Structure 1
């Protein structure tokens, strides 16, 4: 009996103070502690984590564990000395068993609230004694679901009874599946919580990587724009220097002519000022010839100013057009949130390779976790779409299209919603011969596959019912690289005529 009490006390003791629980509270990890012990632990540690498993609590104020509190109160009442001796107990029943029975019943009542009615009809008194007859509660009424003493039997005419031990045993057995179901539910929620924590951590990693790559890409663009700015300013400066040089040469030429004209004017003025008619007439012919030998009027010439139209006209468009040579466009961008953990993607999300070491990735609903598949990021329901893929020397690959509802988790038919060709162990899969480059074309619920080496040739055409959004699909199962090839960028400007 002492051993039974000891085991029961151990189960109902706080792991912090090692005493019977006082005002027990329960954490999300299912561990319980005295409220005062937990608050003291949190105050000293500065973290709201479980003192046992160190898991972070999701609540600042943990809820009370009513079932555990009731069981502890029952145990404490059993340990208290009695003021008046009660009826003699049968040797087959020990206080520890009765305490465990009452504790179990208390937990069920507190947890489910389904026995409130039977509690009203029961004749239980303190410490398992009938409140009406002061007799030990030795029987259990099956119809009223309550404990009775031998004198209460007359009040339960035509009812069926069983021993307290049998009733408690049956109800313990009935409660265990419910407990197991709750434990399974708790495990499912714990797993979901861990998945959410992992996804939150992965979101931080994704954000950091994306931020770094965005900065790198924009730095490339900024560098291109800075170089283009320097180049265009240099061209403007060069034209300015050329035009200034030509203008200076013209000014020097005009200055020389003006100097010559000034000399001629002064000479004529001097001749006109001569009063000696004979002398004037003797030099007249020479003076007249000098006045008639003058240059033509100055011409400034065209294209002397800066060609602003060349430097400023459609400036942004010209820079953007030139920028196309420095960037590439890929018709399909891989979606890393769908990738199997064994698939490693390039930073620009246009190529993938398969490795044996699995990445630590969250098990989000979009992710393939059995098959080594991945989808494109953009889906389509209409129009014509095609993309080229370099598969190289891979012996185990597939490319094609997949429906939005294609299976991504175990125990589902993989082929449902998937239309693809490729290779399996080096042998052609769903086509007649292998190829190192392939084009996938989708148009109006028809997917066609073309080999691109050494020339374009059709490999296969598949018709399917188009009832949902389709996505580019890729599969790789060896240590090779699968590369989506960039598309050609063309610029078309429409001419506007009046």
Structure 2
């Protein structure tokens, strides 16, 4: 019986349409040898299609019309149906009711159980009963109908999968192309800014060189005039003095240059990938600097009194972050809107003893300081050469630390521009962020210096959005 069942399954596969997944109905066979129901093939071969392909093997068919009925395949289908029905009847005949020892003849729709004629009453007397073969035929039709729908959904999903793969590939290339365009744009921006810096540097050197040449010429004239006879000297003295004054007046008084802003697109967004959540260490608070309860703000108190008017002689008071870093890259932002004078930076106890670029010694702190004098704000670094002025204050400063490379950078968050960057700091020990919300300006009530939350971002329209 098992061999017969296997043979019947093979026969059923041969007489089943691969489109609707049920027995053939008016089967037709196309050029590639595959067969389908006439109605299924007709719905698959749509009118006006540029080519007719086999729904199974996808080979392009030379036929442009639905083939004639394959009578032998139709007869084989009917024979297969008959054999399947007889096999099921013979299988059903071998089953019998355990209670009454009689073959199953009925099916109870309510209880979904098979019954013999004796089981009909009284337990199932009020239930809807159907002949076993009729109930099986009914459910077989329903299952075949569902199977057909499942097959259609499967093919639709296959088509959707192919479409999704094509769409994904299109997006892949579009995104890749967009990144290439962005890289090209950034390279152009970089070249433009660097060229602008070179031109500015060249113009400044040219002006200085011209002035030096004028001074050298004047030196030569003054030397020659000193060797002239008294009469000749007196005749040219007034003119020479006037020319000397004009040359000396051309030399501008040395002034502190203004801090240049060169916005770099996407800079702050890139740095935000390394954003860390800092809190201030309450143990580092003093009578001059207090720390808020949420450990996010530091504020200068009345105990911080200025005993000198010279900024270089100010006494500074620092507080530390609770976190310390031994590796990796970190970035944090500090809101300094309410503190006109402040210091930000890092502290490390030990460094490798070697000369560092931009650093004349090996200090334990690396700082950016803002000092206000009259209407200007001055940004200075320690150690380092930065000493520039600004007309307005910075609302927020970003600090980037890269431990392995020894990089410490300070950024103008609002303008997305670099303020200053230390290179090749030889870290060997922990690094702690440090903060100083002062010294306060005389006669003013200082506000807090606040470590910004990780999800806090600055926009140019409102300066700060928390």
For the aligned pair, the TM-score class normalised by the smaller chain equals 0.3 to 0.5
Name the structure, 1 or 2, with higher relative contact order (CA <8 Å, separation 6+): 2
- Judging by fraction of residues, say which structure has more helix: 1
